Every structure is written in C-alpha cells, then in structure tokens.
Amino acid sequence: MDLAHYVDHTLLKAEASKSDIEQLCREATELNFYAVCVNPIWIGECVKRLEKTSVRVATVVGFPLGCNTLSSKSHETKDAVSLGADEIDMVINLGALKSGDWSLVEKDISAVVQASEGRPVKVILETAALQRDEIIHACRCSESAGAAFVKTSTGFGCGGATVEAVTLMKETIGDRLRIKASGGIRDLETMKKMISAGANRIGTSSAYKFLRQETATPGSY
C-alpha cells in the first residue's frame, strides 16, 4: 500500500509564511504525496514549485466557517481555478444544514461544483458538529450536487476525524463518492484506521514526520 499517495499535505494556518510553503512543497515532493492543501494566496507559489512533479495543488473555499454566500464561494472557486488549483475543498453551509434547509445546502455545493470546471470538489462536513442524521443528509446532498468527495473536518472546528464518522459516511455513499478524513490525524496508526474505515484521502500536516520514519525502516510496509 502506497500510504504517501493518500496524503493531502496540509498547511492552512493563517500565519504560514512563504518559507513554510516552500518547505511544504519540498516535503510533498520528497515523499510523493498526492497533493498539498493550502490557503488560496499560496496556490500560485505551489503550482510553480510543483510544476515538474506529480503532486497536485488543493485549496480551500468558504474556509473555515462555510458561512459565505453562494456567489462568494463561486467567485472564490473561479479565482482558485484561474490560479491553477487542481482540487477544491469547500466548507458546507453549516447554518443551512443545522436549520434543515437541505435545498440551500445542495445549491451551495452545486455552485462550487459548477465553478470548479470539472476539478474534484471535496465537501467539508465538520462532522464533530453534526448528529448522525445530519451527516447522512449532508452526504446525500453532496452526492446530488455532484461533489467528488465528502470530508470530515476543517481542523479548525470543535473536533476532527473519527473512525465512526468515516464509517457512517462510507455506509451512506458507498463507492459513489470518495472520503477524505482530516483533523487530528497525527500518527500512522490513526491514518491506517481511517483508511480501513473507508477513507480514500488523508488530510494532515503530520504525515511527513511519521511516514518519513516509516520509509526509513526497511520492510515497514
């Protein structure tokens, strides 16, 4: 199993500097991670640094609260695409979701999907803030709106990924959508548990450290 290829190597801290982004790209290239995931201001820098590699560039939309208007999220997405982003991680409209306004939830996702021009859209559900039925409905809305992934968490909310949430997401969407587990994944054991539960992608800022240790150990996986 190529564990590195599951990883979206993530740096979304507001205080991240250009040198931090340069290091992120070096690490992603060294271990051949699937993608880096950065704030929109760093898309161009990452595209430039990863141009001759297979590492993709993912960015965030409506981050981290999801409370932006449809037109705002659509514009953010179009801007990200114009800058060279390969994938879009958007935060679901949590206020609409908690209000049971599923039509607005779906329209919100659909606006980003349309603006992404075919690039994969990952819908961040913030599962720690949701009840079981809300996670199920959010997954179904994501599927109806044409998203490629459902994703557990921003990493900035009230909790991160759990095996229980990933399992429920998998039970709801099967193989029709993919799942990204993110938030609080800081070691190899947790990463493997998420993959076993159904995650197709792992968002973490810690993978370079723990996977580098693994690859340095002959026969470790």
Residue type, 180: K
Give yes or no: 98 in active site.
Answer: no
Active site residue 107: no
Q: d(Cα 44, Cα 22) in Å, to the nearest integer?
A: 12
What residues pair up with 89 in beta bridges, in sequence order? 60, 122
Residue 89 is a catalytic residue: yes
Catalytic residue among 89, 108, 122, 170: 89
Q: Rounded to an integer, what distance in angstroms lies between the CA atom of residue 75 and that of residue 52?
A: 28
Catalytic annotation, pick one of 73, 122, 170, 180: 180
In the DSSP assignment, the letter for residue 55 is -
Distances, alpha carbon 85 to alpha carbons 1, 50, 115, in Å: 27, 12, 12
Mind telling me the catalytic residues? 89, 151, 180
